[in-house]
Every structure is written in C-alpha cells, then in structure tokens.
Amino acid sequence: MELSQAAKAILEKRYLKKKYGQVIETPEDMFRRVANNIAMAEENYCKHHVAEMTEAFFQIMTRLEFLPNSPTLMNAGRDLQQLSACFVIPVEDSIEGIFDALKVAALIHKSGGGTGFSFSRLRPKNDTVQTTGGVASGPLSFMKIFNVATEEIKQGGARRGANMAILRVDHPDILDFIKAKKDATKYTNFNFSVAITDEFMQAVAVNTTYGLRNPHTNKIVTELLATDVYNAIIDMAWHNGEPGVVFIDRINGANPTPHVGYIESTNPCGEQPLLPYESCNLGSINLAKFVNDNKEIDWERLKYVTGTAVQFLDNVIDMNQYPLESIAEVTKGNRKIGLGVMGFTDMLIQLGVGYAEDRAVEIAEQVMGFIHTEARNASKELATWRGAFPNYKGSIYEQQGLPLRNATLTTIAPTGTISMIADCSSGIEPLYALAYKRKIIDEESDMQINQHVKKLLEEHGINNKNLLERISERGSVQGINEIPLELQKLLVTAHDITPKQHVRMQAAFQKYTDNAVSKTVNFPSNASKGDIAKVFNLAYETGCKGITVYRDGSRLGQILQVSSVT
C-alpha cells in the first residue's frame, strides 16, 4: 500500500506494535490486525460474515478510504483493546465524586482516549462545606488537579491526554472560568468551553440581566448583565481563542435519548456531545478518494464505504474494552457512533471548486446529506438483524417509528492524526497553508505540501523554485501575479477565507450531522472584537452546536506554522 513518508513515520512512532523498542509489524499488518479484530464481532450475529467483513474492512482502510479514530488503530487486537477517542465523565459535588472522576480520567488517558467534563455541578468558590464548616475551593481549583494528573499520564505511551472543561454560563464562577486561560501557561491540558443557554442568548439580545445559580443549593445567588458576560467571552476568544462556546440547549434539543440523561459536556475537541459515562468511537471517510477521472463524485463507492464503515463502527462497540462498567453500560445502551469525513478540501480541489465559493457549500450539503442518509439506511438495516439500540424505546427515533442500531451516526472530527496517515486535508478544514511544517504530536515533521496542490501547480507548469519558495513563505498564492486567477480562486487557505464563510461551511455540515462539527474559524491578526462577536452570533443563528475561533498569531506554540521550502 502507498503511504507518505510522514504517514510511515507517525505509524512507526505511535501505532505499530513494538517489541523491545523495535517495530514488529508493517502498516499492512496493522490494518490486518484491526480488520481481523473488528470483524470478530460478526460472530455475535452471523458467523459466516466474518471472513467477508474482515476483507471488506481491510480493503477500505488500506485504500485509505476510511480510517477509524486513533485508539482503534493503536489498540484493536492488542491487550489494551480500548478503541474509543471520546468520553464524558460526570463530576459530582463531593470530594469523593471529584476524585472518582479523576481516577476514571487517568484510566482513560492511559488508554489513549480523551475526556470531557462539566464542572457545573460543583458548588462555587467560597461556598460553605457542611462537614468541615470550611469554604469550598470551587471548580477552577479542582481543575488544576485534573490538569496536573493529565500532564503526568501519557495516553497509552502514545499521546498526552486531552480534556474538555465545560462550565455553564449561569454558574456563579463563570467570570473566573472565562478568564482562567488568559495566562497561557495554565490549564494547558484543557480546552475550555462555556455552555451557553437559550435564556442567556435572549438576555444578550434584549440587553437584560440573567440569574446565576448555585448548583448546590439550586438558588439564584446573583444576577449579571448578559452582555457583560458575553463580551468577556468574546474578549478572551479574541485574546487567544479560548474559551469556545457550546450551545447546550440546542445540543440537548437534539439529544436522541433524553429519557436516559441530560447532555452536559462534549469530548475534548467539541465534536461529540455525550451523556455522563458515555463513550463514542469515531471514524472518517477520506473524500479525496471519491473523485473519479471525469472529475465527478463516485456516489456508488461512497455509498458502499459509508455502509461498511457504519458496520465497522457498530462492531467496535462490541469489541471495545471499557475502562469502567458504568461506561460500558451507557455506551452499549445507546450504541452511538460518529462517522465523519476528512479530505473535503482535497475533494473540492479535484472538482475544481474553491472553498470560498458558494458551490463549495452546496457540495458540502450534498455530500454530507448523502453520507447521513446512507449511514442511517445502513444502521436501519443493521437493526433488522442485530436489533435496535437497547435504549430505543423512549428515544426520539421511537416517536418517528425509525428503529436504528445506533442512537447517533455522524460526527465531524478534527482528524488531526488520521488525516496525516491518509495524507489528506484534515476534517472539513481548508488548507492551512499551501506549504508548511506540521507538528506531529509533540515533534515537528518535515515541510509538507498538499499532494493535490502540488499536482495542480505542476499541471500549470508552475515548478519554478523561486516561485514555490515565495508561495511557501507566504503560505498563500493570493496576489501572486504569476499564478493564474482561476488557480488563486481554487487554492485558498484558511486565512484567505472570510470568517463568515468558515461558519457557513460549519453550518452546512452541521445540518447533516447528528453530533457536532469540529471546525476552527480563522481570523486575521487585525480582526476586532466586534468581528468575533458577529461570528458568534452567526454560529448561533445558523444552527451550529458551538463555535471556536482563532485569531492568527494570538497563541504561542501554534499548531501549524507556515514555513519555506527547503
């Protein structure tokens, strides 16, 4: 199979089996190990499917048409057998509850998963503690402990743990939470998001106050002007991109199993809202592989891969070894999976459509709409012989008379590492730069140039070294006279696209995504706070489940950096 140099390096470093520090499997062996293991679940339903599905899973992975999330690639068919990237752990308002959550998080990080927590149930700082007569430390203080613990536990030796911290906008400590990451050296293993309610957004709209409630006593303790809090969030998002926000009422409005529980948090990167103790495994279809020589989308193949991927991810739920019995219980009750896409921009380039064009948004809706429909069809078909998910009764699907095998089907993940393995553009993001250095987990890799961009430049006879260097120094082709205008339109980067267009694209994918969409809305360094506020409002108005912004240059250790060709 064909893999890029960078892909081979990542696989060797983090994914392939090792003995005494020596790699003892090839990438193909790895895909064989994963396919064998995941197809074993067929035995639970129909034994004679095992061989056929093993081959089908092996094919879609080695053709780089579909990849499951990293923990599945790393751990399937090995002792650990922990296959999920996403977990949400409840944090109860007691010392025992807090440290229980910490222990579970440690176990999850050890196995390569990421954890999301809502700290909203904790009583605020300086509240009373009955048993000791003392005062409470508050959510932010306890979060420091989670942060330090994460620092010390490398995920399965493979990557450092990632956490999401959520606090409701009506928690009394909200202003401290919003400002907590002003100092970029603090809470480095957490992403912060404020859970914003519809009531709060209405209060912002009419410029009134809203109540802040002590979760311990369930009493309103104070009121704040909603716009003051909203502006504080926007100030900090402008300052260094955090906190993000999640629209928690909208998320619960789409909760497929409200009879099982309330959704209070998402996973670390925000794309997967989950119930307390729920986990989810993700997988992504590489859209770069679905454009044929006539520059058309190969819908037949996309349908086949979508159906096979749904069966794969459903099997993962059976084969998974869960870090805790309560996690196994909730996860198996809902059987949520998160099928998404990567390589979207590569697809657009092959189709000759620029990311900023209206046509790109139409293609996004068409492709994700198709995947969503086909994923549902596949899940419905699985339900006929495997049964609907156990919590189906009482779910929103029961009301619709739609028995499904899985309570959710689609999620758009960042695909930070698996897109490097597949050598495609990540998730639904535009290219960050046309040539750049990419950090692989904690180390830097060589200079990267997107293969489709390279091909296109070559087709246009652009291989002049000086010109290529200029492109890579700027990271963009906009305004370079030697580049034909039609190419400039096609080869737009995250910085060439308006924030509004970023949000439009996020909203287009969200329309056909059961869970949420991982997307960064990029701003130029000279963007104003007003620009950021407009985009937050737009995300709310267009049905997004949350929003994360990033103003260029506003954070140290930027994930991707523009670099020059060497």
The residues of the shown chain that bind ligand CDP, judged by CB under 6 A, are 69-70, 85-86, 113-114, 159, 162, 267-269, 271, 282, 413-418
Inter-residue contact 131 to 161 (CB < 8 Å): no
Coil/strand/helix, residue 440: strand
* Minimum distance of ligand CDP from residue 338's CB (angstroms): 9
Residue 276 corresponds to which tokens in the numbers above?
């307390």
Q: Which residue lies nearer to ligand CDP by CB, 285 or 383?
A: 285
* Residue pair 34/313 in contact by the 8 Å Cβ criterion: no
- Residues 75, 255, 267, 315: which is the catalytic one? 267
Least distance between ligand CDP and beta carbon 235 (Å): 26
Q: Which is nearer to ligand CDP, 187 or 392 (CB)?
A: 187
* Residue labelled with tokens 């579909």: 66
**Active-site annotation holder among 191, 242, 269, 429:** 269
Is 292 considered catalytic here? no
Length of the chain: 566
The token pair that represents 564 in the structure block: 């020059």
Backbone phi and psi for residue 303, each to the nearest 5 degrees, phi listed first: -65, -45
**Least distance from C-beta 107 to ligand CDP, angstroms?**
13
Is 291 or 418 the residue whose CB approaches ligand CDP more closely? Answer: 418
CB-nearer residue toward ligand CDP: 267 or 391 = 267
Give the pair of three-digit tokens for residue 490.
């096609």
Q: What is the DSSP code string of 246-306? A: EEHHHHHHT-S-TTT----EE-TTSS-EE-TTEEEEEEEEEGGGGB-TTS-B-HHHHHHHH
Q: Is the Cα dihedral 109, 111, 117, 122 positive or negative? A: negative
Structure tokens at 125: 């700082």
The smaller minimum CB distance to ligand CDP, of residues 85 and 288, is found at 85
CB 70 within 8 A of CB 16: no
Active-site residue 86, yes or no? no
The CA-atom distances, in angstroms, between 220 and each of 120, 171, 235, 249 are 14, 10, 26, 19
Nearest approach, Cβ of residue 159 and ligand CDP (Å): 4
Whether the bond into 172 is cis, omega within 30 of 0: no
- Catalytic pick among 271, 278, 374, 429: 271
Q: Shortest approach of ligand CDP to residue 268 CB, angstroms?
A: 4
Dihedral over Cα of 155, 159, 160, 163: its sign: negative
Distance (Å, whole) CA 275 – CA 327: 10
**Choice between 424 and 521, CB closer to ligand CDP:** 424
Has 544 been annotated as catalytic?
Answer: no
Residue sitting closest to ligand CDP (CB):
114
Query: Cβ of residue 415: shortest distance to ligand CDP, in angstroms?
Result: 4
Which of 109, 100, 250, 231 shows the shortest CA–CA distance to 178? Answer: 231
Which residues are catalytically annotated? 267, 269, 271
